[in-house]
Each structure stands twice: as C-alpha cells, then as structure tokens.
Amino acid sequence: MKREITALENRTFDAVIIGAGIYGTLVAWRLAKAGYQVAIVEKGDFCAATSANSLKILHGGLRYLQHLDFKRMRESIKSRREIMSFAPHLVMPLPCLVPTIGRGMRSRLIMKSAFLANDLIGRDRNLGLAREKQLPPGRIMGRAEIKKIMPDLSRREITGGAVWYDGLAVNTERIALEYLLTACDYGAAAANYIRVDRIVTKDGGVTGITATDLLAGTPLAIRADRVINCAGPWFAELLRASGLPAPRVRWAKAVNLVVRKQISDTCAVGLESRAGDRDMDAVVKRGGRLYFFVPWKGLMMIGTTYHRFEQAPDRVRATREDLLTILEEANSLYPSLRLEYGDICFFHCGLVPMADKQEDEPGTVQLAKHPLVIDHADTGGPAGLVSLCGIKYTTAPTIAGKVLRLLGGEKSPPAARKTAGISRPPSPGRPVSLAAERLAALHDRYGHRAVRVAEYIGASRDGERWLCRQPDLQAGEVVYFIREEMAETLADVVLRRSGLGDAGSPGRDVLQRIAEVMAAELSWDTTRKEREVAAVEGRYYPLVLPG
Ligand SMILES: Cc1cc2nc3c(=O)[nH]c(=O)nc-3n(C[C@H](O)[C@H](O)[C@H](O)COP(=O)(O)OP(=O)(O)OC[C@H]3O[C@@H](n4cnc5c(N)ncnc54)[C@H](O)[C@@H]3O)c2cc1C
C-alpha cells in the first residue's frame, strides 16, 4: 500500500470513500473485492478516530432481546462472525459474566431463557470459524462459582452468574487496517492525511471531491462516479461544508478507561451502573446501563460512560473529570478494586450518535438504536452520494453489504476478481529464518502478513534489532510499516501499526529509539524527532507518564 497522490488524480474511480475508520475501510474492501475501482482517503491516520476508541467488544446483540429487536440481533451475530473469520488472529472469544439476582429480570430463570433464545437466533454464529475461535452457548453458574471469579461480590441477593460469549477485538486498529490492505490488494488506492474539503456535484450528481494533502499542504481533486461519505462524527459537517442538506444528528461523548488492575483475567464482567445514562427504550427492562470490566493485554478496560456533547467533533477530549467519574463508579461497583488515578494507563474517547428523542431528565443519554444509510438521491440530493452513520464497530460488515447493494451489487465475475490488482512488491532482502516462537508472535499481530514482516526483519542486521522487548518490536517491523503500511508519523507506528502504545506509553526511551529508525527512513531532523515524540506523549494527557 503506497501513498501515491498522482494515482488518485489521474483517473476516474467508480467510488471515492471519505474516511478510513472501520466503516470506510470495510466499504473499501467490500467494493474493491466486488470489482469496483475504489479510492479511499482519510484526514488523519487510518483508524485513528472513533474506531480506535471502542471497548473492543464485537457484540452478538444479546442486549437487543430486551428490545425484542431480532433483526438487529441477527445483523450483529452475522457481522461479528464476518469480522472473526476475516481477521481471526485479531479476535478471540470473550466470556461475559453478569451476576444473577432474585426472581426478576436478572434471575437465573430469565437469563437461562434469554440464552436459549440467543443460542437459537445465533445457531449459525460459528459457521466457518476455526475451533478455537468458536463461541460456546451461554450458561448459568451457581453462587459458589461466581464467588471464585469475583470473591468480593458482596450483595447478598446474588444467586449466581450468567455467562455468554462475544468476540474481543484484540486490536481494532489492525482489523480496520487489514480490511484496507486487502482492499488495496484488490486494486484500491488509499491515502492517509488527505482532508476532503468538499464533495463536488454537477447537474444533479456527484463528480468527486476536492481535498488537501495535509503532508504536502497542496490541494488535489479526485474524480469519481460515486462518493461514499464514511466520515463518522464528521459526516454531517462535511455535507454542510459542501453546500448539501445534512440530517441533524446529536452526539454523545463516550469514554472508557484502561487500568492496571483486573477483576478477572479470563472473562468480562458486567455490573449495573447507578449512573444516569439508562436504556429507556428497553421493552423488557428499563434498567441502569451495564459497565463492563474487560480483561485485555493483561490490563482491564472499563466502560462505557456517555455524556451529551454539543461542540464540533474535532473538540472531543476526555478530561480528568471524565476519567475520575468512571474511576469512582468502578470503585463503587466493585470496592475491592480500590482504583486510584495512577492506576489508569490509557483511556478511550469518541462520539456516538444519540437517539432523536431524549428523556427530559438531565444527565440521561439515549443512544441511537439504528445506523443511518442515506442515499441522498432519495431525498432530492445529488445522485451517487451515500452517507453512513454507524452506531457500532461490530455491525460495519452489514452496512458495507448494504452499500454494495445500493451501488448495484457485484461488478466483475468472481474469476476476474480473484487476481485483479493483487500485486506484490519486491522482497526487501534475504529470506529470513526466525525462531518458531518469534514467527508465532508475528503471526498473532500480522496474520498471513507475518511472512512479509519477517522478510523486513531479516533484510539487514539492523532489521533484527530489538526496539522493545515487552511488548515486542524490532526495527525491521518499523521499516515495514513505513514502506508497506503507509506509516507517516511516530504515532502511526506506536499507537496503531504496532499497538505498542495503545494501552499506555511505552516510555520515552522506546519512543526515541523508534523515532531514530523512522528518521533514518524518512530523513527527519532532530527537531522533527522531538516533535514526533511530544505528539505521541500528548495522547496520554491528562495521565501521569512514568519516568
Ligand atoms: C468509548 C467508545 C466505546 C465503544 N465501544 C464499542 C464496542 O465495544 N463495540 C462496538 O461494536 N462499538 C463500540 N463503539 C462504537 C464504534 O466505535 C463506532 O460505531 C465506530 O467505530 C464508528 O466507525 P466510523 O468508521 O463510522 O467512524 P470513525 O472511526 O470516526 O471514522 C471516520 C473517519 O473519517 C475521517 N474523516 C472525517 N472527516 C473527514 C474528511 N473531511 N476528510 C477525510 N477524512 C475524514 C475521520 O478522521 C475518521 O477517521 C464505541 C465507541 C466509543 C466512542
């Protein structure tokens, strides 16, 4: 995948996609695989916005039983399976446990019935998945068993626990990147740090976009028969900037913490929050929202809180107060955690769409229940323009399928598609023989691309140099990110391509070592290196960085 601006400008694409979060990258993959000539541009780095900030649960939609929304459940189950089979190395089964209580809606009997329905509706949930990725049916456990997992669960009315299985996206950023890389294998053209300024229309239809190359500071134009607006929280803003009518969508700021303590190292635990953001639309139970405590990378994610957000999307930030609110709530739900501010090593923050109707009660947030897929021609807008507003990372495959159908379905016959555009750049150096253990670790991060990464590691003595042992990173991987995955900044490498810093700072020494490798490859001077290190450290503000 190369950043070639002239290749974006010198032809007319079937579709240009704006935004490379999970929705944009999945749409790019779906269309490119179906034979469309696709360009995709992103104003920041790939998958650096909302999609990098999720709680990483690929939901099968058990919760939607409360709304009796079986269609949405089916979509979630199918989408979860699609992501799990596309990038199995980046997803693992996640047991999710909630305590059962009394004789009401959270009782053992009701949860058992819910699991029966869930397993029936999701009977094909494992179709095509490798055995170790398959999701077992839900089950009920007794009080003694839940006490082993959560010894400090104190409420006397707890009768046991209910466990169901979802997917845990170990690395949300690399999943989106894998969709993008595969789209490029099918011939798509991609570029990061390209901000679309305007969707261009003529005679009632779209003709492409105008944009700015933020690295070169130069304008560019891309011609295309269709424009797919996957700009996430920015989608309406971009329509307005283009002089096009935009729906009014209100947003909530959503925040998670990552902390150095765990309740369980094997399963996610859901505890009912006493905070105000309740699910008022539930048909069956209008309870408090569940806070999830999710084991991840030997740490624990806690989330999610929601607060109404009225400002421009670029202004969304997690404040110290946001982090403290979650900390206090977590401590009140499971007091023996005794979390302190210094236990927080990372946080996630992004915008999610709210429902049109909100309760008057201050502090409550009703989240949107359905994604938007707008074919603008249907509402008097230009032909060829489609805008998306997703509500879950999980359901991006379903929405991408809808976009393909809107555009008219598959283009070229499968035989022609199979090899179309798939080309392999020359090998960077000698073939490498790495220890089986190291190859396995590379496979866990890169899947089938591990062999290619190993070639970079083996290309020179410097390629083998360790930049960090725990988590692991070798210099050859950094060169691979730059040459084949379009890493342009230190943050691209640290926060997304390698995942080294996506759960806390790897420390200044490591950042400087990686910056040195990038400087040699990209001709950075000392000032640039310092700026890059400072930019990565800025991502952890307002946390206290070690050392
Ligand atoms: C805290 C939190 C927890 C969550 N937890 C979960 C969860 O556990 N499971 C789940 O399924 N979902 C979860 N979600 C929801 C999920 O993350 C989102 O629904 C999903 O990531 C949205 O993806 P997107 O591609 O639409 O948006 P984004 O990822 O924001 O992508 C849009 C992209 O468009 C780019 N862009 C914008 N304007 C322009 C422009 N003018 N030119 C070029 N590019 C542009 C942006 O830079 C951005 O990269 C969570 C969300 C949050 C915030």
Classify residue 502 by its DSSP letter: B
Query: Lowest mean pLDDT: which of 61-65, 274-278, 279-283, 502-506?
Result: 279-283
Mean pLDDT on 393-421: 81
pLDDT at 281 over 60: no
Mean pLDDT on 242-251: 96
Distance CA 439, CA 251 (A): 43
Same-domain status, 164 and 189: no
pLDDT of residue 363: 72
The reply to whether 157 falls in a domain is yes
For residue 427, name the pLDDT band (cuts at 50, 70, 90): low
pLDDT of residue 106: 87
pLDDT of residue 354: 96
Same-domain status, 162 and 197: no
User: What tokens does 57 get?
Assistant: 């649960």
Among residues 146, 169, 192, the one where a domain terminates is 169
pLDDT of residue 283: 46
Distance CA 411, CA 37 (A): 10
HEC-encoded secondary structure of 147-184: HHHCCCCCCCCEEEEEEEEEEEECCHHHHHHHHHHHHH
Number of domains, the chain: 3
Distance CA 344, CA 274 (A): 22
Quote the radius of gyration of the chain (alpha carbons, Å): 23
pLDDT of residue 341: 96
Q: Please, what is the average pLDDT of the chain? A: 93
Distance CA 346, CA 541 (A): 9
For residue 182, name the pLDDT band (cuts at 50, 70, 90): very high
pLDDT of residue 432: 66
pLDDT of residue 200: 98
Distance CA 305, CA 365 (A): 10
Among residues 153, 169, 185, the one where a domain terminates is 169
Distance CA 215, CA 251 (A): 30
- Asked if 440 and 472 touch (Cβ cutoff 8 Å), the reply is no
Residue 395 alpha carbon to ligand 1 centre in Å: 12
Residue partners of 355: CB distance under 8 A and separation at least 6: 281, 366, 367, 368, 369
Give the atom of ligand 1 at the shortest distance from the alpha carbon of 41: 43
Same-domain status, 80 and 122: yes
For residue 460, name the pLDDT band (cuts at 50, 70, 90): confident
Range of the domain at 42: 5-50+173-249+370-418
Residues counted in the chain = 547
- Check if 59 has its Cβ closer than 6 Å to any atom of ligand 1: yes
Query: Percent of the chain at pLDDT above 70?
Result: 93
Give the atom of ligand 1 at the shortest distance from the alpha carbon of 25: 25
pLDDT of residue 284: 46
- The residue whose CB lies within 8 Å of the most ligand 1 atoms, and thus the one to mutate among 172, 296, 352, 402, is 352
- Check if 493 has its Cβ closer than 6 Å to any atom of ligand 1: no
pLDDT of residue 426: 62
Higher pLDDT, 283 or 64: 64
Residue 120 alpha carbon to ligand 1 centre in Å: 31
pLDDT at 155 over 90: no
Among residues 136, 169, 202, the one where a domain terminates is 169
pLDDT of residue 102: 87
Residue nearest to atom 6 of ligand 1 (CA): 54
Mean pLDDT on 159-183: 97
Distance CA 348, CA 491 (A): 15
Burial 151-170 (b: 16+ CB within 10 A, else e): eebeeeebbbbbbbbbbbbb
CATH number of the domain bearing residue 527: 1.10.8.870
Residue nearest to atom 26 of ligand 1 (CA): 232
Q: What is the pLDDT of residues 16-62, one digit of tens each?
A: 999 999 999 999 999 999 999 999 999 999 999 999 999 999 999 99
The residue with tokens 């490859």 is: 521
